[in-house]
């Protein structure tokens, strides 16, 4: 039975019983009232008339009747005959009253007649009272009976109806909670005939679909995981995944191979524990302790790792994995991936290139030196005086051979830096000696552009801790740049200042300056500012920087674009 029908029937019956109870009560009350009214009108009035008639009889002195009163009440009594015998008795009384007018001795008869009428009415009252009593008893029985049935029914409704509605709702709430907590196997079974039955069918079908969906998505997820696992495993570069609690979550085959580890010994283990017994993993993960923007991303230097039965080079990149969790706004670190890129081929090519450059520049040095020597001999007047044209040709060859010497020297320095074969020979050096070497080397170039080189020493000429040859090379290079990138007839200043135990060598020019966007790039190897018309290799500043930093100093630049630049480096004072 539908809940709606149950409610309708239950409440409807209750309503009907209350109505029946009300009807019965009204009916019996009315009946009792009618009966008592009957007694009052029919019998009580007659007794009252009789009493008045007796009073009228006794009104006169010694049985002289108050006729008028007697007549009045006799007339009323004649109209109020209700009992079967009462009519005859009242007729007799009326006749006797007529005869009394001629025979006054009939008064006793009148008395008797009236008393008889009173008696009849009193008996009727007793009889009717007994009827009323019976009616009252009937009323009590009926109302009691109906009331009891109503009470029992109400009790039944009270105990059944709330439970009938609330229990399924409670069960439904529990089941929804189960579903919400992920138990998609939850089902509910209600009586199939009512609305809750329909609800249980709908709920069960929803749970079934959710279960199917979860199974489907799980399968999909597993599929995706397998796809990613296969992808990572098929990568030729080693990949290591670490979660936010620093446990290793994946390591592809090549990563396992180069580290010599086995998957079952690393997966799910703390990276610190595993790397305690594995030097390579320790090297790879030592940057991981805290992933900061500084150590995230590719590391500049390639790592030499013994893999594939040979020495290989890998570039390491640390990629922090960040997500914004559903419903949140702040990014959260959920792990780190270490990528190793095999750069052995490039490294081998790079070595070949460096070796080639080193050999070529070394081999070029001897012929250039011999050209320079030949030029010096040519200029020697003992061997003959050159005419103006020949002199100009010699000057031009001298310039070219100087440029060639500069290039070979830069290339040689660069190859030595790349192969790590460069040696810093730091010792106390006279700062003035370094400055004078740089000025004398650049004298011809400065004269050519009519540039005057001014030197500003501090009061006391300092002694610095430096590699004389390399520092001279750096200052020569900076001065050469200042002259090359300055306008004709200008001035270049070399200024030495002392502060905090450091000597600062600054080369200040009033040339074209450097646009701010290129300031941090000019120290990169082979970098030349786009559109630079002067000849050059783009190696000078990068070599200079490494030379100075190799001695524990710093090389910096300040430039006002269009107004000039200041290149300066610091060295420790003795
Ligand atoms: P290059 O052989 O090209 O001079 P460098 O490494 O010495 O190589 O310099 C790199 C670039 O920096 C140059 O190409 C030039 O554009 C710029 N540069 C260097 N020194 C100066 C300077 N004093 N004034 C303006 N630009 C300069």
Per-residue pLDDT reduced to its tens digit, 379-434:
888 888 989 999 999 999 998 998 899 899 989 989 988 888 888 899 999 999 99
pLDDT tens, position by position, 476-513? 999 999 999 999 999 999 999 998 889 999 999 999 99
CA 522 to ligand 1 center in whole angstroms: 7
What local confidence, expressed as pLDDT, does residue 63 receive? 57
Choose the weakest-confidence range: 181-195, 481-495, 523-537.
Answer: 181-195
What local confidence, expressed as pLDDT, does residue 292 receive? 54
Task: Count CA atoms closer than 13 A to 146's CA, side-chain side.
Answer: 18
Which one, of 563, 461, 554, 460, lies nearest residue 514 by Cα? Answer: 563
- DSSP collapsed to 3 states, 388-450: HHHHHHHHHHHHHHHHHHHHHHHHHHHHHHHHCCCCCCCEEEEHHHHHHHHHHHHHHHHHHCC
* Atom number of ligand 1 nearest to Cα 564: 24
What local confidence, expressed as pLDDT, does residue 107 receive? 78
Cα(513)–Cα(565) distance, rounded to whole angstroms?
A: 5
- Site to substitute for ligand 1 among 486, 523, 528, 535, most atoms within 8 A of C-beta: 528
Residue bearing the bigger pLDDT, 192 or 289: 192
If you average pLDDT over residues 513-533, what whole number do you get? Answer: 92
Could you write out the DSSP letters of every residue in 197-215?
A: HHHHHHHHHHHHHHHHHHH
* Atom number of ligand 1 nearest to Cα 537: 2
pLDDT exceeds 70 at position 104: no
pLDDT exceeds 60 at position 190: yes
CA 482 to ligand 1 center in whole angstroms: 8
* Atom number of ligand 1 nearest to Cα 523: 6
The CA radius of gyration of the chain, in Å to the nearest whole number, is 64
Cα(273)–Cα(270) distance, rounded to whole angstroms?
A: 5
Q: Which residues contact 439 (CB under 8 A, 6 or more apart)?
A: 453, 455, 479, 494
Count CB atoms within 10 A of the CB of residue 414: 23
What local confidence, expressed as pLDDT, does residue 539 receive? 92
Write the DSSP symbol of residue 528: -
Count CB atoms within 10 A of the CB of residue 467: 21
What local confidence, expressed as pLDDT, does residue 37 receive? 81
If you average pLDDT over residues 535-544, what whole number do you get? Answer: 91
Does residue 536's CB lie within 6 angstroms of at least one atom of ligand 1? yes
- Site to substitute for ligand 1 among 512, 522, 530, most atoms within 8 A of C-beta: 522
Does residue 564's CB lie within 6 angstroms of at least one atom of ligand 1? no
If you average pLDDT over residues 253-261, what whole number do you get? Answer: 89
Does residue 184's CB lie within 6 angstroms of at least one atom of ligand 1? no
pLDDT tens, position by position, 58-85? 765 555 567 888 889 989 989 988 888 8
What local confidence, expressed as pLDDT, does residue 6 receive? 78
pLDDT exceeds 90 at position 540: yes
What local confidence, expressed as pLDDT, does residue 439 receive? 96
If you average pLDDT over residues 186-202, what whole number do you get? Answer: 82
What local confidence, expressed as pLDDT, does residue 294 receive? 54
Residues forming beta bridges with residue 251, ordered by sequence position: 240
Which of helix, strand or coil describes residue 375?
helix
- Site to substitute for ligand 1 among 481, 557, 559, most atoms within 8 A of C-beta: 481
Report the mean per-residue pLDDT for the chain.
88
Nearest protein Cα to ligand 1, atom 2: 536
What local confidence, expressed as pLDDT, does residue 299 receive? 54
Residue bearing the bigger pLDDT, 535 or 353: 353
Question: pLDDT class for 14, splitting at 50, 70, 90?
Answer: confident
Choose the weakest-confidence range: 219-228, 295-304, 309-318, 551-560.
Answer: 295-304
- DSSP collapsed to 3 states, 231-267: HHHHCCCCEEEEECCCEEEEECHHHHHHHCCCHHHHC
CA 481 to ligand 1 center in whole angstroms: 6
pLDDT exceeds 60 at position 568: yes
CA 477 to ligand 1 center in whole angstroms: 10
Nearest protein Cα to ligand 1, atom 23: 482
Does residue 522's CB lie within 6 angstroms of at least one atom of ligand 1? yes
Whats the size of the chain, residue-wise? 574
User: Residues 72, 49: contact at Cβ < 8 Å?
Assistant: no
pLDDT tens, position by position, 269-325? 999 899 888 888 888 887 665 555 555 555 556 788 876 677 888 888 889 899 988
Does residue 553's CB lie within 6 angstroms of at least one atom of ligand 1? no
Does residue 538's CB lie within 6 angstroms of at least one atom of ligand 1? yes
What local confidence, expressed as pLDDT, does residue 428 receive? 95
User: Residues 339, 319: contact at Cβ < 8 Å?
Assistant: yes
- Site to substitute for ligand 1 among 449, 541, 543, 562, most atoms within 8 A of C-beta: 541
């Amino acid at each position: 039975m539908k809940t709606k029908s149950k409610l309708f029937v239950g409440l409807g019956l209750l309503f009907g019983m209350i109505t029946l109870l009300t009807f019965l009560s009204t009916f019996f009350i009315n009946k009792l009232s009618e009966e008592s009214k009957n007694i009052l009108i029919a019998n009580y009035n007659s007794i009252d008339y009789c009493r008045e008639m007796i009073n009228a009889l006794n009104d006169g002195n010694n049985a002289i009747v108050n006729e008028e009163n007697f007549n009045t009440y006799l007339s009323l009594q004649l109209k109020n005959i209700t009992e079967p015998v009462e009519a005859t008795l009242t007729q007799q009384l009326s006749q006797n009253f007529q005869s009394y007018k001629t025979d006054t001795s009939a008064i006793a008869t009148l008395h008797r007649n009236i008393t008889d009428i009173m008696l009849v009415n009193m008996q009727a009252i007793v009889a009717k009272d007994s009827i009323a009593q019976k009616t009252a008893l009937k009323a009590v029985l009926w109302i009691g009976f109906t009331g009891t049935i109503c009470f029992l029914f109400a009790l039944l409704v009270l105990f059944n109806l709330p439970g009938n509605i609330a229990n399924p709702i409670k069960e439904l709430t529990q089941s929804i909670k189960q579903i919400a907590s992920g138990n998609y196997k939850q089902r509910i079974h209600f009586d199939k005939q009512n609305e809750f039955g329909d609800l249980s069918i709908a709920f069960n079908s929803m749970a079934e679909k959710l279960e199917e969906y979860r199974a489907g998505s799980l399968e999909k997820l597993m599929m995706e995981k397998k796809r990613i696992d296969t992808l990572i495993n098929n990568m030729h570069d080693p990949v290591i995944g670490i979660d936010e609690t620093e446990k290793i979550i994946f390591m592809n085959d090549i990563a396992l191979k180069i580290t010599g580890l086995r998957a079952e010994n690393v997966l799910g283990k703390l990276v610190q524990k595993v790397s305690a017994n594995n030097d390579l993993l320790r090297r790879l993960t030592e940057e991981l302790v805290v992933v900061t923007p500084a150590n995230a991303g590719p590391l500049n230097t390639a790592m030499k790792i013994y893999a594939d039965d040979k020495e290989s080079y890998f570039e390491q990149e640390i990629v922090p994995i960040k997500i914004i969790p559903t419903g949140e706004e702040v990014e959260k670190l959920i792990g780190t991936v270490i990528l190793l890129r095999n750069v052995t081929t490039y490294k081998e090519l790079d070595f070949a290139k460096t070796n080639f450059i080193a050999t070529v520049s070394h081999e070029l040095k001897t012929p250039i030196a011999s050209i320079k020597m030949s030029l010096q001999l040519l200029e020697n007047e003992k061997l003959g005086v050159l005419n103006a044209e020949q002199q100009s040709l010699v000057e031009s060859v001298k310039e070219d051979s100087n440029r060639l010497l500069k290039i070979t020297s830069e290339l040689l320095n660069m190859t030595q830096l790349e192969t790590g074969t460069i040696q810093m020979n730091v010792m106390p050096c006279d700062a003035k000696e370094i400055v004078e070497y740089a000025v004398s080397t650049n004298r011809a170039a400065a004269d050519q552009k009519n540039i005057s080189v001014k030197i500003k020493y501090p009061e006391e000429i300092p002694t610095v801790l430096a590699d004389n040859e390399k520092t001279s090379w750096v200052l020569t290079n900076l001065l050469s740049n200042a002259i090359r990138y300055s306008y004709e007839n200008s001035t270049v200043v070399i200024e030495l200042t002392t502060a905090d135990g450091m000597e600062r060598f600054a080369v200040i020019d009033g040339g074209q300056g450097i646009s701010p966007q290129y300031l941090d790039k000019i120290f990169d190897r082979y970098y030349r500012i786009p559109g630079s018309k002067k000849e050059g290799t783009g190696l000078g500043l990068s070599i200079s920087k490494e030379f100075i930093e190799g001695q524990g100093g710093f090389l910096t630049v300040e430039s006002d674009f269009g107004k000039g630049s200041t290149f300066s480096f610091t060295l420790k004072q003795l």
